[in-house]
Amino acid sequence: MAQPATERPAQAAEDWTIPQDWEAYTPQDHAMWDRLFARQAAMLPERAVKEFMDGLDVLRLSKSGIPDFAELSDRLMKLTGWQVVAVPGLVPDRIFFEHLANRRFVAGRFIRTPEQLDYLQEPDVFHDVFGHVPLLAHPAFADYMQAYGEGGLRADGLGAIDRLARLYWYTVEFGLIRQGQDLKLYGAGILSSYGESVFALDDPSPNRIGFNLKRLMRTHYRIDDYQQTYFVIDSFDDLLRQTVEMDFAPLYEELQRESDLGTAEIIPQDIIFNRGTQAYARSKTGA
């Protein structure tokens, strides 16, 4: 993943926001959104958590073309009090947390080129809006994201941002959820990726294990390829409750005394939904 810029670009406001400049999108830009949308919309109803599909619907994200953030924010504001604001790229941690704590989701405004259809380094408007915004229409998830921002500001003071980043990674970006007898997708990194939307649910390669906050915060993650482990939550209410009730300062201290876990490691206390073969990861390293 690319590192955030450390110096604020000249065109950005103090909080790093920029105008979306919706009129500047070309017909090709809008066509790229439509192409990505159609591909995901065809396969996700079976795979995504119901609340994500409901969010797409209630926010009218199926409308053709890149969404206008002002219009999108109007709808979102009425539902959960969130807004979507444009930023020039990855922003410094503190700026990111400040926005979340104030119920503002920062989104890239550019869209990938056809050559970047399946992989790009910095999040574009499709990842940020299609992947992240639908669940912001769900009250418990909306509250979780705000609580995460507040937790980030506290973690910054405790030197624990790297630990907390794992929570974002394994829930907001790459989380799975139990729905009845099935596992479903809710992480934006998965939902905005055609390949990982299949891999995360169907492939025998990755581990799928029950969410455990402390265990998760000991676990390294992959930034260069599909995850080797996915954590499964029971519900958004449960995720919110567990993180809001947790006193993170003593947890960070405890974690300092425990070893980190590798991206594919299983430990005795894990609740295992699927013990991964890791065949995919091995095939990539040639080991």
Taking the least distance from each CB to Fe ion, the nearer of 142 and 188 is 188
Contacts of 204 (CB under 8 A, 6+ apart): 274, 276, 277, 279
Determine the 3-state secondary structure of 257 from DSSP: coil
Taking residues 172 to 191 in sequence order and writing x for each that binds Fe ion by CB under 5 A, - otherwise, the string is ----------------x---
Report the nearest approach of Fe ion to the CB of residue 147 (Å).
17
CB atoms within 10 A of CB 20: 20
CB-based burial label for 213 (10 Å; 0-12, 13-18, 19+): middle
Report yes or no: 137 and 58 within 8 Å, Cβ to Cβ: yes
Closest CA to 44 of 152, 178, 193: 193
Tokens of 135: 């669940």
What is the smallest separation between the CB atom of 21 and Fe ion, expressed in angstroms?
21
CA distance 87 to 105: 10
Of 180-239, which residues contact Fe ion (CB under 5 A)?
188
Pairwise CA distance, residues 77 & 136, whole Å? 10
Per the residue annotation, which of 99, 132, 138, 205 is the catalytic one? 132
Q: Which is nearer to Fe ion, 123 or 206 (CB)?
A: 123
Nearer residue to Fe ion within complex by CB, 188 or 232: 188
Residues paired with residue 164 on neighbouring β-strands, in sequence order? none
* Site residue total, Fe ion (CB under 5 A): 1
Query: Is the Cβ of residue 129 or residue 276 nearer to Fe ion in the bound state?
Result: 129
**Which amino acid is located at 67 in the chain?**
P
Report in angstroms how near the CB of residue 192 gets to Fe ion at its nearest: 8
138 is catalytic: no
Cβ 194 to Fe ion shortest distance, Å: 16
254 is a catalytic site residue: no
Bridge partners of 151, per DSSP, are none
Residue from 98, 173, 193, 196 carrying the catalytic annotation: 173
Query: Residue with the closest Cβ to Fe ion?
Result: 188
CB of 61 to Fe ion, least distance (A): 16
Q: Which tokens belong to 137?
A: 């229409």
Binding string, 72-91, against Fe ion, x = CB under 5 A?
Answer: --------------------
| Collapsed DSSP state (helix, strand, coil) of residue 274 | strand
Which residue's CB is nearer to Fe ion, number 25 or number 130?
130
Active site (annotated) includes residue 132: yes
- Scan residues 126-145 and list those touching Fe ion (CB under 5 A): none
Contact positions vs Fe ion (CB under 5 A): 188
Q: Which residues are catalytic?
A: 127, 132, 173, 192
